[in-house]
Amino acid sequence: GAVVSQHPSWVICKSGTSVKIECRSLDFQATTMFWYRQFPKQSLMLMATSNEGSKATYEQGVEKDKFLINHASLTLSTLTVTSAHPEDSSFYICSAEPTGQALSYEQYFGPGTRLTVT
Amino acid sequence: GNSVTQMEGPVTLSEEAFLTINCTYTATGYPSLFWYVQYPGEGLQLLLKATKADDKGSNKGFEATYRKETTSFHLEKGSVQVSDSAVYFCALRAGTALIFGKGTTLSVSS
């Protein structure tokens, strides 16, 4: 149980286009999901916290107009990279926290999405 | 601010060797501490956690003790297996956000 999927697993897009990444909790509901970005040989950096039915909370330095997050249901959050540029190329990882289990500190991670912008 | 520093890899060991991966942290207050593991092609999985000083987290033969006096949470295993080859991340949680170290790649050969 407690599986999180991401789609696509990798994507290549041209500069200036937009890309949508999906994060799904397959066997549990998640009021809260998190989006991370990972550079090669670097740690995961939290980009934003996504809450079902409300606006996402972005970390300092993350452009909310560039990285659009929508958490429309208890099992799905999407990250859209708008007007992508080569510097947006990275590994994007989502995680989901089961509803009602915040105090357990458990987050379940997706396998990540490799974005390459040419 | 909050941060996590863990030893850089890669760490290469023979099967049944003893493993230590060092992790130290900087935090205000009393964070919870975690070790996550990422096997090839898979998402991060929680390996173990400790929520207060002197707590010992353990799972699958791995252990780590929350040392407040040295702000450390070192990961240890007495006898590693080939199947333990993965990337290991130390992390702390203060509030809702997880703050990760850079990860340490462990490679175990038979």
User: pLDDT tens, A80-100?
Assistant: 999 999 999 999 999 998 887
Backbone angles phi, psi at B54, to 5 degrees: 75, -5
Nearest to B92 by CA among A35, A29, A58, A43: A43
Q: Which SS3 state, helix, strand or coil, does residue A103 take?
A: helix
- Per-window interface: B 52-81 vs A, CB < 8 A: none
Specify whether the CB–CB gap between B73 and B50 falls below 8 A.
yes
Nearest-CA distance B76 → chain A (Å): 21
- For residue B42 the two structure tokens come to 């898979």
- For residue B76 the two structure tokens come to 């240890």
Q: Which of A95, A105, A111 sits opposite B42 (nearest CB)?
A: A111
DSSP string, B33-101: EEEEEE-TTS--EEEEEE-STT-EEEETTEEEE-BTTTTB--EEESS--GGG-EEEEEEEEETTEEEE-
- Amino acid A57: pLDDT: 93
Task: Give the residue-averaged pLDDT of A44-69.
Answer: 92
Beta bridge partners of A83: none
pLDDT tens string B31-65: 999 999 998 878 889 999 999 999 999 999 999 99
In A, minimum Cα distance to B89 occurs at: A43
Alpha-carbon distance of B84 to B14, in angstroms, equals 11
Describe chain A by its helix, strand, coil percentages, rounded to 5: 5, 50, 45
| Contacting residues of B for A4, CB less than 8 Å apart | 43
- Look up residue B102 and give its DSSP letter: -
In B, minimum Cα distance to A42 occurs at: B102
Specify whether the CB–CB gap between A98 and A2 falls below 8 A.
yes
Q: Which of A32, A42, A109 sits opposite B44 (nearest CB)?
A: A109
pLDDT band with cut points at 50, 70 and 90 for residue B106? very high
Interchain proximity B98–A46, CB inside 8 Å: yes
Q: Which of A32, A43, A110 sits opposite B102 (nearest CB)?
A: A43
